[in-house]
Every structure is written in C-alpha cells, then in structure tokens.
Amino acid sequence: MPAIRNLSRAVKQVLQKPGCGCQIAILPVRCLGFSPRQVTSDASFHSVSFSETDHPRVLITGGLGQLGVGLAKLLRKHFGKNNVILSDIRKPPDSVFYSGPFIYSDILDYKNLREIVVNNRITWLFHYSALLSAVGEANVPLARSVNITGLHNILDIAAEHGLRLFVPSTIGAFGPTSPRNPTPDLCVQRPRTIYGVSKVHAELMGEYYHYRYGLDFRCLRYPGIISADTQPGGGTTDYAVQIFHDAVKMGKFQCNLKPDTRLPMMYINDCLRATLEVMEAPSERLSMRTYNISAMSFTPEQLVQEVQKHVPELQVTYNVDAVRQAIADSWPMIFDDSNARQDWGWKHEYDLPELVNTMFSFLGSVSPISRIARIN
Ligand SMILES: NC(=O)c1ccc[n+]([C@@H]2O[C@H](COP(=O)([O-])OP(=O)(O)OC[C@H]3O[C@@H](n4cnc5c(N)ncnc54)[C@H](O)[C@@H]3O)[C@@H](O)[C@H]2O)c1
Ligand SMILES: C[C@@H](O)[C@H](N)C(=O)O
C-alpha cells in the first residue's frame, strides 16, 4: 500500500516539524494539509486561486440522472453557464448537450477525473453518480464499485485539489434498528442495502477527510425526490413519481408499495435549493458535515387521495414488490431535520398539496377520461 506508507511518512514529518505553527500535543489534524493519495512530484496542490468574490467552477458527476440536470440549471443561473460542467458516462440528449458544458467522465477512472478537475480549474464538485437502492440490490458488485470505489476517487481528487465537495446521502442510510419516527441526524445506522451501506461509508469517509485533511465536505441526506421532467433511476421511492405520469397518460396506476408505507419525500426544487444553500453556508454555521433535510412524509394512499383531486377517475391497484417493500419498511418514516433548520436556515417550500399542484401544472392535469370526453 504505497499510498498508506507515503501517508505515514508524511505524518511523521509533520509531527517532527510542525510547520503549521501548532503544538504537537494539541495538533489539530486539519493542519495536516497533505494529500491522501500519492501524486507525481511536480503536481502542485491547491494551485487554483479562488477568492470569495469569484464564482466557483463546478463539476457535477452522474449529471444525467434524475437530479443532475436540474442542479446544473440552478447553478448556471447563479454562477454562469460556462462555470458549471455536467458529466456522466451516458450520451446526453440534445437539450442537455446544447444547454451548457457537458463532458464524459467515469468516476472509476481516477486519472481522467483528475485531468478534468485540473484542466477546468474546478473548485466545487457535486458528486451525484450512484446506483440507487433497488438497482443496487439487483447488481451489488456494480453498486459497490460505483458507490464505494468511485467515492474514494472523488474524495482523493477533492482533497488533493482543495475542492469544496458535496456528496448526497439519503434516508436509505438508516436501517431497521434506527429510530424511524422521527429519525434524528445522529442515531444507529445499520442499513441492509448496498446503497445504504455505501452512503453511510460516504458520510463517514467524507467527515473523516474533513477532520483529517481539512477537506471541505458537505453532505445532505435527501428524502425520496419527486420531479416532473426527469425520471428516477431505480429507487424505492420511484412510485411517487410514476403515479403522476400514469395518472395523466393512462388514468390508472399500479403501486409497488403497500398503501400505508410512510416515507419522507421532497419536491426537486427544495432539494436542489437546499444543496446550493448548504454549499454556500459559511463553514462556521455548520456544526455538522452531514444533515438530514425534510419537507413532508406521506403514504401511497395519502398521495393517491391528493392526486385524485386532480384526476378523480384514477384507478389504483397494489402489486407489492417484496424487495422494495422490505427496503421501505426499514427506512425512516419521519425525518428530523431540526439541525439543518437551526444551523444554516433550511426551510422547505413544498408540502404535499403544493407538490401535487406543481406536478400537474408541469404534466397537465387534464385526465385521459375528461380529455376523451372533450374530444367527443
Ligand atoms: N433521486 C432521489 O430520490 C435521491 C434521494 C436520495 C439521494 N439521492 C442521491 O442523489 C444522487 C443523484 O441521484 P439521482 O436520482 O439523480 O440518481 P440517478 O440514478 O438518476 O443518476 C445517477 C447517474 O450516475 C451515473 N453513473 C453511473 N455509473 C457512473 C460512473 N461509473 N461514472 C459516472 N457516472 C455514473 C448514471 O449514468 C446516472 O446518470 C445520488 O447520489 C443519489 O444517491 C437521490
Ligand atoms: C431515497 C433515495 O435514496 C432513492 N430515491 C431510492 O429510493 O433509492
């Protein structure tokens, strides 16, 4: 393990010569400004000069999923189109390709990632690549590789180049032994999915790099996210997006969770705004580096009732998927986000009725049956 050998040599050197002005006995690890991964001798760390008045230069990984395109749009509004690079391993649709910088980036390719960060003078990184809960269970080796090995690459690159790093975690980072109603920030976390395990690992590694190397790591645990113009990537909360599309297109919906399965959910605009807000928050406001954020909690049957106010003839059946149901039954029902609210002023804007109104204003609330009636 050359990297570890290198690391312990560097630790010894720092401890022998405390160049950062700290006393050895009380040496705070954040004074150790070296990189966790060996790099070539001519590499210059923290070479990006980035003053508070500059806009950050942003890279989003896994940007073609449910959340990345919306995040790029929001960040481009704030920081300028060319300061935000979207990346993924998939081919972007024309609408994305022509809306701002897009590049290929596989997070498992460490050298390529480093080249992108260096060549584009990246200062902020939003790490969205992941396999979600249900697809993760269907392909554990791939989920382990993308969600864990990929994260290690991201952490090392971010630490080496002095980046501010955002990594989303999830309600899925909790498990059956966690308190579920409500679930606080700090409690037992023993998830039973590879997705959850990899997210707990991400939280802990990010916090460790923060305290050990001074990495500016910031992490929010998202609830299930609901969006109108992007499709979810294979999670347990996907039903809460699918119902809107099926209601509008077909007037019927088959739900893969039981009617009384309560889960925390959030409209995408709140989620992306929270992400920007926590990234912009002054460090001294962050008493923690990983926060729960919350907006609403509902069951399929409560969502159906609200949707039926717009599509009264919607027919709903239940065909429970055993894998997804077991996952949902181990996740929080109500998320306690009081620390986020207190520390950096988090406040959601969308509750259930507002969410449903907004979804239908995007997708069109005229139900298939009333549409047919109007045509006739
Ligand atoms: N959507 C939600 O409800 C939700 C909730 C909680 C947390 N999150 C987290 O937010 C992030 C984004 O979620 P999402 O819903 O957009 O996910 P998604 O599944 O829709 O998209 C993930 C993207 O990662 C990309 N990817 C896969 N392997 C890759 C690789 N090797 N290199 C680069 N990219 C790769 C995929 O091509 C895909 O576009 C994830 O980390 C997820 O865990 C999402
Ligand atoms: C909750 C979240 O992480 C994702 N939507 C999933 O269900 O897997």
**Helices within 80-149 (DSSP H only):** 94-97, 110-119, 133-138, 140-144
State residue 51's pLDDT score. Answer: 47
Q: How far is the CA of 139 from the centre of ligand 1 (A)?
A: 15
Q: Are 167 and 202 in contact (CB under 8 A)?
A: yes
State residue 364's pLDDT score. Answer: 84
Q: Which of 194, 220, 222, 297 to mutate to test the pocket of ligand 2 (most atoms within 8 A of CB)?
A: 222
User: At 330, which amino acid appears?
Assistant: S
State residue 367's pLDDT score. Answer: 53
Which amino acids are annotated catalytic?
195
State residue 54's pLDDT score. Answer: 81
Whole-angstrom distance, CA of residue 176 vs CA of residue 193: 11
Q: Are 67 and 84 in contact (CB under 8 A)?
A: no
Q: Is the CB of 62 under 6 A from ligand 1?
A: yes
Nearest ligand, CA of residue 174? 2
**Below-70 pLDDT ranges, the chain:** 1-35, 37-53, 365-376
Within 10 A of 173 (CB to CB), how many other CB atoms are there?
A: 27
Pairing of strands 224-226, 216-222: unpaired
Q: How far is the CA of 26 from the centre of ligand 1 (A)?
A: 40
Q: How far is the CA of 283 from the centre of ligand 1 (A)?
A: 26
Question: Which atom of ligand 1 is least distant from the CA of 90?
Answer: 37
- The CB-side HSE value for 243 (13 A sphere, CA atoms) comes to 29
